[in-house]
Structure formats: C-alpha cells, structure tokens
Amino acid sequence: MLLLILKRIGLGLITLFIVSLITFVGVEVLPGDACTTYLEREAYGAALDACIKRLGLDVPAYERYLDWASNVVRGDFGYSLSGEMPINEVLGPRVKNSLVLASVSILIGIPLAIVLGIITALWRDKLPDIMISTITIFSMTIPEFISATLLILIVAIWLGWLPGIVIIPSDATFYELLSNIILPVVAISMIMTAHMARMVRSSVIQVMASDYVQMAILKGVPYWKMVFRHVLPNALLPAINVVALTIAWLLGGVVVTEVVFNYPGLGRLVIESISNRDLPVVQALAIILASIYVGINLIADLMTLMLNPRLKSLQIRK
C-alpha cells in the first residue's frame, strides 16, 4: 500500500517535471523574449543589452531552466515583468481569492449535487425527477458566460440586489469577499452541480438495478436502510474521481466566470498575464495549476483505493 502511494507520488512528480519542461520550451520558442516584450519599442541598443544582462538572458537556455527550476522547488518563482514585483506576492492574494471562491462553491455545490442526484434516481421518471432533471439539463447546456451575464442582468441590474461585478482590491479580506462572491458562486454551481447530479443519478440507477439490491429487498431490508447501506456506498464510489476533477477545475480558476464578474482570482490572472506577455508569471501559473491537478487526482485515487474493498485487498495481496 505504502509502495503504491510512493509510486503514485513519483509519477505525479514526473508529470510536473514534464509540464515545467513543456512550458519552458514553449516560452523559449516564442518569438521575442522577456526583454523585447518588456521594453517594447525601446528594445534596442544599450537598453536591451542592459535588460538582457539584468534578467540573465545571456546564459544558455538549459542553464536558465536549471536555475529557474531549482528556485521553483524552493518556492521562489522569480519576478513578474509588468509589476516588477516578486511573483509570490502577485500570486498570493489571487490563490487565496480562488480558494475562497472554490471552497464556497464546493461546499454548496457538491452536497447539493449528490442530494439532487440521489433524489432523481430514487424517484426516477416521477415528478421530482422530471422537474430536477429538466432544470439540471437546462443549466448544463447554457454556457457559463451566458448564465453569468443573465444573472448580472436580472439580479444586479433589474433587481439591484447584489453588485454586478466584484470591485474589490485583490488583497481584500475574507468577509469583504464573501458578500461579493454570491453571484459568481451561483453561476459556477449551476453548471457544476448539474453535471455532477446527472452523474450521481445514473450511478445510483445502475446500482439500484443490480442483483445485490434485489437480494437486499428480498432479504427484507427496509427501503431506506437498503439505500444507505447497500446502494449509496457503491454508487458514490465512482463519483469521487469526478468530484476531484471538479475541484481541480475550480481551483485552477474558472476563467470565464472570473472574467465576467471581474473577480481577482487565478483564472483572470492567467488571461491577464498572457495578454501582457508576462512570461515568468505564465510559467509560474502553469506549474501551480498542474500541481493542483496532479495533487487532487492523487488524493482521489488514494481515496477510491481506500474505500473500495475490492481494490484494497488486491493491492495488499500484491
């Protein structure tokens, strides 16, 4: 078991290494470099030379990669070009903001999705299912930039209940944030909950049709007891991986929603740094987002392994 965990962690690290190489090479082969971007029209003569020297662009690429990589391992992403401040300082508040948005969405969205999924499955083809399923399919098919815009139009402009866009400094406190994120959370949850509820629904339906559920009924197990002991543990197991992907997607920044609501999270930072050609920040973001994906999927795999007796004993026997 321990060996397996180590193996998975090792694989994750290799993935991260490859991601870092690809982003580094990608940045290298782009025409121009940090200095030409930074200096724009003044990128000639002495100013350019001085810049190149200052940023250390005169050394060979592999040396710069090694230098950069060893700094990253130590947690130092270097300097941002546009603001000329340490990237860590740029990232810090953004990560926090994204975390707040993601965790609130997760706390609301995932339990809601599971409950809705179970309700629709147990009352399959009856009124609750038809109603909830219609709504979920509807909110699944509307792209988030439309649903987000509609929310702003209705709630913020017509009704005037909540601010339409988030106008807060990127280092706002948690409480300041909370009142501002209601609309973004609703927009994100709509799509996320719908997807997950559909998945939970089909998973529960599949388990309800299994031989062991029929057996439990014929054994005289009362309905709700059967649902909680025989159905849900087996039906929710495959949901873990989907939940993990959703969480990773949320933490990685919900780009469109953040842009629509002007929310200072990681997703908007990605867009901003790409359009500013702030290459060190792009590199740093790539590594961070990849780490989030790898880390969360690792946790999900291990959880599945722990909770599924079939996989667990398979591993122990090996």
Point out which residues bind another protein (CB under 8 A). 210-212, 214-223, 229-230, 233-234, 237, 307-310, 313
Closer to another protein at the Cβ: 1 or 217? 217
Question: Closest approach of Cβ 165 to another protein, in Å?
Answer: 47
Closer to another protein at the Cβ: 26 or 128? 128
Distance CA(117)–CA(111), nearest Å, equals: 10
SS3 (DSSP) at 261: helix
Please tell me what DSSP assigns to residue 143. Answer: -
Question: Closest approach of Cβ 134 to another protein, in Å?
Answer: 23
Question: Closest approach of Cβ 69 to another protein, in Å?
Answer: 29
Question: Closest approach of Cβ 77 to another protein, in Å?
Answer: 38
Closer to another protein at the Cβ: 144 or 301? 301
Using the Cα atoms of residue 309, residue 311, residue 313 and residue 316 in order, give the sign of their dihedral: negative
Contact yes or no for 266/90 (Cβ under 8 A)? no
Please tell me what DSSP assigns to residue 231. Answer: I
Contact yes or no for 114/227 (Cβ under 8 A)? no
Please tell me what DSSP assigns to residue 86. Answer: B
Closer to another protein at the Cβ: 103 or 214? 214
Tally of CB atoms within 10 A around 5: 13
Question: Closest approach of Cβ 211 to another protein, in Å?
Answer: 4
Closer to another protein at the Cβ: 2 or 209? 209
Distance CA(192)–CA(190), nearest Å, equals: 6
Looking at the chain, how many residues does it have?
318
Question: Closest approach of Cβ 317 to another protein, in Å?
Answer: 9
Tally of CB atoms within 10 A around 194: 23
Q: What distance separates the 2 farthest-apart alpha carbons in the chain?
A: 87
Closer to another protein at the Cβ: 70 or 214? 214
Distance CA(211)–CA(206), nearest Å, equals: 10
